[in-house]
Amino acid sequence: MLKLFNTASRKNENFKPTGEVVKIYTCGPTVYNDAHIGNLTAYIYWDLLVRCLRANGYKVKRVLNLTDVGHLVSDADEGEDKLEKGAEREGKTVWEVADTYIAKFKKDYKALELAEPEIWARATDYIEDDMAAVDLMTEHGFTYETADGVYYDTSKYENYAGFAKLDLAGLQAGARVGFSDEKHNVSDFAVWKFIKEGEKHTMRWNYLGRPGYPGWHLECATIIHKELGEPIDIHTGGIDHIPIHHTNEIAECFAAYGHDLSRFWLHCNFITIDGEKISKSLGNVYLLSDLAERGFSALDYKMWVLSGHYQGTRNFTFESLEAAKARRLSWRNRIAECYQKEVSGDGVFEKILEAVNNNLNSAEAYALIDNSELSLEDWKKTDELFGLKLIEDSPKISEELQALVLEREKAREQKNFARADEIRDQLAAEGITVKDTPTGPIWQYIR
Ligand code: AMP
Ligand code: ZN
């Protein structure tokens, strides 16, 4: 039985889909910048979620959105649009910036062997749907207009504070001195922003007789409505999304369509690097390419991420990445061994899946793998569950290399140690070593 921690109830709950297919929505990246290794953790955890559902025999339909408009620097309704900022920084158009970072994100996604979503949804492809949703919210009495845009009146939605357990009175009391715009409540937010005369905002659409663009949260509510139909089964994101982004998505869905947005909500925690926040000023904004320069593959990083739990705060260090890399190599060598001799295994895959079924406890599953014997069949299922490309990286070695392994063995028998050493060096250049065991030599990977 699959159990997941549901943010909405703050409890571990048994998960069962309501229909034939598990409907999942993953809040995706704002495509104005490279995704650093912290940003990528979420997609690794949700890849495990999808793979786990599939291992349990469920079909999955997942949408992952790409935010290319409306996400302002502050996460609320102030500051520049992140895409406009990216365009200024790079001397490109916003559309070029979006295209560039969508392509880069998809490249990282592939390198990490992440299960492709059934639908990649780009925010700017849903503008008409956004407008229709604002129309509905207005028709249902949830919005008001200011000089700045169309705002959601959060006092109209009784459960607004419930999801994130927000202290609205405290928020109101603590509102910035000089909070004097036309918002009725401090938690009200823009569902649609107007572009003022002279304001630089390239992405613009005419709505309500003026140029404007959708507020950030709206895309997720409208994409879910259009592509999946609410309520969906599982909605995923980072813990930072709980108080504003997801709270507002839920409110918008209710106001426009009168439904709950999702049954389950999963949120992953943040990683630190050497005990520090990831930040430019600390120079620790590592990309997958930075890890590659230091000799670590994307899959070594995935191995590190899955050695911990999605709800825990994780501290990344290069030493711990080194350990993850060594662990992945040792698993590949155990698979290589399965190709060279019979390993019966103790049918441990069921236990591995059981561990992951317990709210994605991959750390416990990893410990089981370390401490049990797996047959080739079990390794295949395990590799499918974690998406670590262990098998593809562990084929039978080529016939020439296999012949060299045998020749080395013969040379040793004939006490021709010079030839045996020569072959050892030749194999090492191919990334292979030979281990002598009581049942004869077996080859292993050294990298
Ligand atoms: P940002 O570009 O910093 O707004 O990050 C985009 C998303 O990535 C955030 O909304 C978070 O959910 C996630 N994220 C950012 N930093 C981290 C981190 N250090 N660890 C895990 N997730 C992160
Ligand atoms: Zn979202």
Q: How far is CA 236 from the centre of its chain?
A: 9
Average the pLDDT over each of 4-13, 39-48, 405-414 and give the range with the smallest value.
Answer: 405-414
CB-neighbour burial class of residue 124 (10 A; exposed 0-12, middle 13-18, buried 19+) = buried
Q: What is the mean pLDDT of residues 371-393?
A: 94
CB-neighbour burial class of residue 91 (10 A; exposed 0-12, middle 13-18, buried 19+) = exposed
Cβ–ligand 1 contact at 278 (below 6 Å):
yes
User: What is the pLDDT confidence band of residue 342, given thresholds at 50, 70 and 90?
Assistant: confident
Mean of all residue pLDDT scores within the chain: 94
What homologous superfamily is domain 3-268 in, according to CATH?
HUPs (3.40.50.620)
Place of tokens 């050493």: 421
Cβ–ligand 1 contact at 271 (below 6 Å):
yes
Closest approach atom of ligand 1 to CA 238: 12
Q: What is the mean pLDDT of residues 418-447?
A: 91
User: What is the pLDDT confidence band of residue 178, given thresholds at 50, 70 and 90?
Assistant: very low
Residue 171 has a pLDDT of: 80
- Nearest ligand for residue 43 CA: 1
Residue 38 pLDDT exceeds 80: yes
Residue 395 has a pLDDT of: 67
Residue 31 has a pLDDT of: 96
Under 8 Å between Cβ of 195 and 176:
no
Between 199 and 45, residue with greater pLDDT: 45
Distance 355 CA to ligand 2 centre (A): 29
Under 8 Å between Cβ of 361 and 355:
yes
Q: Which of 240, 304, 305 to mutate to test the pocket of ligand 1 (most atoms within 8 A of CB)?
A: 240
pLDDT tens for residues 295-312?
999 999 999 999 999 999
Residue 397 pLDDT exceeds 60: yes
Residue 386 pLDDT exceeds 50: yes
**% residues pLDDT > 90 (the chain):** 85
H helices within 258-398, ranges in order?
A: 288-293, 298-306, 318-340, 349-357, 362-371, 376-386
Residue 75 has a pLDDT of: 73
User: What is the pLDDT confidence band of residue 175, given thresholds at 50, 70 and 90?
Assistant: confident
Distance 29 CA to ligand 1 centre (A): 9
pLDDT tens for residues 97-142?
999 999 999 999 999 999 999 999 999 999 999 999 999 999 999 9
Domain locations along the chain: 3-268, 273-386, 399-445
Under 8 Å between Cβ of 308 and 363:
yes
DSSP state for residue 398 in the 8-state scheme: P
User: How far, in Å, CA of 401 to CA of 424, rounded?
Assistant: 11
